[in-house]
C-alpha cells in the first residue's frame, strides 16, 4: 500500500466542485431508484472526464434516505454533467420516485482513501 499526501494550494482546491445530495425516496420504489442511480453513476464516471468521484450511501435506520457526495473537476464540469444524456435519463426515470431532494455545496477539508490523502 502506498500512501501519498497532497500539497495542493487553496487556489488549486478551489477548482474542485463538490456537492452533497440528500434524497428521500419512495420506499416502495427504493430498489428501482438504486438501480437507476447506479447506472447513472457508472455512466458519469466512465463517460465524463470532469466527474471525479461519486459516493452514495443509505441511512442504516431509514434506507429510503440516500446521501450522495459528488466531486467534479470544476463548476463547469458539474454543469456539463447536468446536460449529459445519461443524467437527463436518470432525472426523468426517478422523478416519481424522489419525495425530496436537498442539494448542498460543500468545500473539502480532507479526503482520503488507501491510495491517497488530500488535505485542503
Q: Is the pLDDT of residue 101 over 50?
A: yes
Q: For the chain, how many structural domains are there in total?
A: 1
User: What is the number of residues in the chain?
Assistant: 120
Indicate the DSSP class of residue 100: E
Q: Is the pLDDT of residue 3 over 70?
A: no
What are 23-68's pLDDT values in tens digits?
999 999 999 999 999 999 999 999 999 999 999 999 999 999 999 9
Distance from C-alpha of 24 to C-alpha of 14, rounded to nearest angstrom: 29
Q: Report the CATH number at residue 36.
A: 3.30.70.100
Residue pair 48/85 in contact (Cβ under 8 Å)? The answer is no
> What's the pTM value of the predicted model, to 2 decimals?
0.82
What are 70-97's pLDDT values in tens digits?
999 999 999 999 999 999 999 999 999 9
Domain of residue 62, residue span: 4-119
Mean pLDDT of 1-26: 65
Amino acid at each position: 500500500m502506498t500512501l501519498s499526501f497532497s500539497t495542493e494550494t487553496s487556489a488549486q482546491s478551489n477548482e474542485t466542485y463538490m456537492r452533497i445530495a440528500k434524497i428521500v425516496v419512495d420506499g416502495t420504489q427504493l430498489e428501482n431508484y438504486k438501480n437507476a442511480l447506479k447506472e447513472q453513476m457508472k455512466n458519469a464516471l466512465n463517460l465524463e472526464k470532469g466527474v471525479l468521484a461519486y459516493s452514495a450511501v443509505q441511512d442504516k435506520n431509514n434506507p429510503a434516505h440516500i446521501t450522495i457526495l459528488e466531486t467534479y473537476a470544476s463548476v463547469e464540469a458539474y454543469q456539463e454533467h447536468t446536460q449529459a444524456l445519461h443524467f437527463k435519463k436518470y432525472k426523468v426515470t426517478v422523478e416519481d420516485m424522489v419525495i425530496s431532494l436537498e442539494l448542498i455545496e460543500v468545500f473539502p477539508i480532507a479526503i482520503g482513501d488507501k491510495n491517497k490523502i488530500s488535505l485542503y
